[in-house]
């Protein structure tokens, strides 16, 4: 069920204004709002930019849930130019429609490997915010999506907990029972490395054994 009309009204825009922004005749736009015309992914992305909401906000599967697309994976110890999957491999997960994140874009990635296996199962879907979009500052004790980029351009993506030692120095901590993933990571990184805190973990959706 599409929430296009509800969202448009909440933004104080008329049908004509949105139709003009899309480059559509008013009649054709009205068909989108009523569901008479099928909503394509491209059109949904255009509407999300015009109305400044996440594409998933237009779709209401249930009054207290929202969906997030899983488009990539993250895995500590694996270096690659990109972790994004082909579009036909994407899938959706449903999460609570939490008021805290209602006007925030949420992103999804599948966690692979044992680097956080004390907290998340292998294959868990991790839902996170963008630190750039929200403008929030990292907070100690929270879990974050972290990217480490080497001088050769290859990247590693992982989840770590932000922690500070008794001197106040910040570290990124794994939560793993695997000896390969138990060493704290210095936020300054190794020589030639760039460390970025990409997003804060909001939810995890775990598979049943």
Burial of 92 (0-12, 13-18, 19+ CB in 10 A): middle
Instruction: Give Cβ neighbours of residue 169 (< 8 Å, ≥ 6 apart).
Output: none
| CATH number of this structure's domain 65-205 | 2.10.109.10
Q: With 60 as the cut, is the pLDDT of residue 209 above it?
A: no
Q: Which fold has domain 1-60?
A: 434 Repressor (Amino-terminal Domain) (1.10.260)
* Predicted confidence (pLDDT) per residue in 78-126, tens digit: 999 999 999 989 988 888 888 889 889 999 999 999 999 999 989 999 9
180 by DSSP, 3-state: which? helix
Instruction: Give Cβ neighbours of residue 83 (< 8 Å, ≥ 6 apart).
Output: 72, 73, 74, 75, 109, 155, 157
Check residues 64 and 16 and name the one with the higher pLDDT. 16
* Predicted confidence (pLDDT) per residue in 36-63, tens digit: 787 777 788 889 899 998 877 776 544 4
Residues of the chain with CATH 2.10.109.10: 65-205
Rounded distance, CA 33 to CA 122, Å?
40
Question: 158 vs 2, 38, 46, 76, 198, CA distance in Å?
Answer: 34, 37, 30, 5, 10
pLDDT for position 86? 94
Residues of the chain with CATH 1.10.260.40: 1-60
pLDDT for position 102? 84
pLDDT for position 178? 95
pLDDT for position 198? 96
| pLDDT band, very low/low/confident/very high, at 35 (cuts 50, 70, 90) | confident
pLDDT for position 60? 58
pLDDT for position 2? 67
Rounded distance, CA 55 to CA 134, Å?
17
């Amino acid at each position: 069920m599409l929430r296009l009309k509800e969202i448009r009204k909440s933004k104080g825009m008329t049908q004509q204004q949105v139709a003009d922004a899309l480059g559509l005749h008013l009649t054709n736009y009205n068909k989108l709002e009523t569901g008479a015309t099928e909503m394509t992914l491209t059109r949904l992305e255009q509407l999300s930019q015009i109305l400044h909401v996440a594409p998933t906000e237009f779709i209401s599967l249930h009054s207290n849930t929202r969906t997030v697309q899983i488009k990539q994976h993250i895995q500590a110890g694996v270096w690659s130019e990109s972790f994004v999957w082909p579009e036909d491999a994407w899938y959706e997960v449903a999460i609570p429609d939490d008021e805290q994140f209602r006007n925030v874009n949420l992103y999804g990635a599948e966690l692979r490997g044992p680097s956080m296996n004390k907290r998340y199962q292998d294959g868990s879907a991790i839902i996170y915010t963008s630190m750039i979009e929200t403008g929030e500052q990292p907070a100690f004790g929270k879990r974050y999506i972290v990217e480490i980029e080497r001088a050769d351009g290859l990247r590693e993506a992982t989840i770590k907990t932000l922690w500070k030692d008794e001197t106040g120095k910040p570290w990124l901590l794994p939560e793993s029972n695997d000896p390969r993933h138990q060493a704290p990571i210095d936020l300054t990184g190794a020589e030639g490395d760039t460390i970025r805190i990409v997003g804060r973990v909001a939810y995890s959706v775990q598979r049943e054994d």
